[in-house]
């Protein structure tokens, strides 16, 4: 499947796996790249530059296909010196594709551009997409409110954003939010985008870095079983509506709440540790609304086979409809 995005980054299918903090490490990302997509590892999951370098080397040992590293620029937690140190490691190790997210990439994009690294910037609005293209982004991924991770607070459905971004931007656009199978992949591509971004679907795989208790638990979450926390911090996160989410929502209703007040409840590392130990009530479990359509654990390879098969079957159905 050739699109301007597959040509830009050198992959077989226009399918990017979204970075998932602590969870999409080399095993998952390499499996995605080996299956023909673009696997992504979140650089900020590593505590220092040496650990990041080791993970890049691991990726190179697991796949000879293109892959990406994500740099999260979330304003509350960003330490510019550390970001530049990580950027240098990524460039030195010859990573060819980077995804930035969290805020306007601005100056952070420059070293990548100089080194010839392709930059995909992830946004939740078309306005932010335009700003990132001005900064030099080579491609844009745009996610709707359905998405796992941080889908913004505007509450706009993906297909509205995808079509609008594809119409208005002159760089390749990837559609994200709720894409979990061939049908939704086809639906997204029909809006004019050049590829898709998928996160939640890859959580229900053996390759994801998590516990079996977590894998099984997310299969029971219905499409209406998620909620946005952290809206008070202007950093909304879509999570399963469990006990920890309820605790966060209650705390957020207190007056003059600050990041420091909420930090113990929303700490990514604390949630990750709770998930790994099977204490699921104590974890903010980020999942998109597409979770309601996922009912089994599958390997990354099986997911790709289903994605392509489902895409083709949907196309056949659409072609039949035009003839009836």
Ligand X SMILES: Cc1cc2nc3c(=O)[nH]c(=O)nc-3n(C[C@H](O)[C@H](O)[C@H](O)COP(=O)(O)O)c2cc1C
Question: Which residue's CB atom is positioned nearest to ligand X?
Answer: 199
Cα distance between residue 77 and residue 215, in whole Å: 28
Span 78-107, contacts to ligand X by CB under 6 A: 101
Asked if residue 205 binds ligand X (CB under 6 A), the reply is no
Taking alpha carbons only, the member of 306, 300, 65 closest to residue 182 is 306
Strand bridging mode 118-123 / 97-101: parallel
Span 249-288, contacts to ligand X by CB under 6 A: 286-288
Structural tokens at position 46: 């590593």
Cα 58 → chain centroid: 21
Asked if residue 139 binds ligand X (CB under 6 A), the reply is no
Q: How far is the CB of 197 from ligand X (least distance, A)?
A: 5
Cα distance between residue 175 and residue 147, in whole Å: 10
Asked if residue 229 binds ligand X (CB under 6 A), the reply is no
Q: How far is the CB of 76 from ligand X (least distance, A)?
A: 14
Q: How far is the CB of 158 from ligand X (least distance, A)?
A: 8
Q: Which stretch binds ligand X (CB under 6 A): 1-9, 76-84, 107-115, 173-181?
A: 173-181
Q: How far is the CB of 81 from ligand X (least distance, A)?
A: 20
Span 13-42, contacts to ligand X by CB under 6 A: 18-21, 23, 42
Q: How many chain residues touch ligand X (CB under 6 A)? A: 27
Among 172, 176, 182, 195, binds ligand X (CB under 6 A): 176
Asked if residue 146 binds ligand X (CB under 6 A), the reply is yes
Cα 180 → chain centroid: 13
Asked if residue 189 binds ligand X (CB under 6 A), the reply is no
CA distance readout (Å), 195 to 47, 92, 172, 219, 278: 31, 28, 8, 26, 35
Q: Could you give the 3-state DSSP secondary structure of residue 139?
A: strand
Cα distance between residue 166 and residue 184, in whole Å: 17
How many other CB atoms are found less than 10 A from the CB of residue 238?
A: 28
Q: How far is the CB of 314 from ligand X (least distance, A)?
A: 18
Q: How far is the CB of 322 from ligand X (least distance, A)?
A: 29
In terms of C-beta density within 10 A (0-12 exposed, 13-18 middle, 19 or more buried), how is residue 204 classed? Answer: buried
Among 198, 233, 240, 262, binds ligand X (CB under 6 A): 198
By CB under 6 A, name the binding residues for ligand X.
18-21, 23, 42, 70, 72, 101, 122, 143, 146-149, 176-179, 197-200, 286-288, 290
């Amino acid at each position: 499947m050739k699109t301007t995005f597959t040509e830009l980054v050198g992959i077989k299918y226009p399918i990017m796996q979204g970075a998932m903090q602590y969870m999409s490490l080399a095993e998952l990302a390499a499996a995605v790249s080996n299956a023909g997509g673009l696997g992504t590892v979140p650089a900020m999951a590593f505590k220092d530059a040496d650990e990041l370098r080791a993970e890049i080397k691991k990726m190179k040992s697991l796949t000879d296909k293109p892959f990406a590293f994500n740099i999260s620029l979330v304003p509350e937690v960003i330490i510019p010196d550390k970001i530049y140190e990580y950027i240098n490691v990524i460039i030195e190790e010859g990573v060819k594709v980077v995804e930035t997210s969290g805020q306007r990439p601005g100056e952070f994009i420059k070293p990548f551009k100089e080194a010839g690294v392709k930059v995909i910037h992830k946004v939740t609005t078309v306005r932010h997409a335009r700003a990132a293209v001005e900064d030099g982004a080579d491609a844009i991924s745009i996610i709707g409110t359905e998405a796992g991770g941080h889908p913004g607070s505007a509450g706009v459905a993906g297909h509205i954003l995808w079509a609008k971004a594809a119409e208005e931007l002159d760089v390749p656009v990837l559609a994200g939010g709720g894409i979990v199978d061939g049908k939704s992949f086809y639906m997204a591509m029909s809006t004019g985008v050049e590829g898709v971004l998928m996160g939640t679907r890859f959580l229900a795989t053996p390759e994801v870095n998590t516990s079996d208790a977590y894998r099984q638990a997310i299969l029971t979450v219905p499409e209406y079983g998620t909620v946005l926390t952290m809206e008070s911090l202007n950093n909304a996160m879509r999570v399963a509506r469990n006990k920890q989410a309820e605790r966060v929502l209650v705390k957020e209703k207190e007056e003059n709440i600050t990041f420091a007040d909420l930090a113990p409840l929303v700490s990514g590392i604390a949630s990750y540790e709770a998930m790994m130990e099977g204490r699921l009530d104590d974890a903010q479990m980020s999942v998109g609304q597409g979770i309601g359509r996922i009912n089994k654990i599958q390997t990354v390879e099986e997911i790709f086979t289903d994605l392509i098969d489902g895409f083709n079957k949907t196309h056949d159905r659409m072609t039949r409809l035009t003839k009836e």
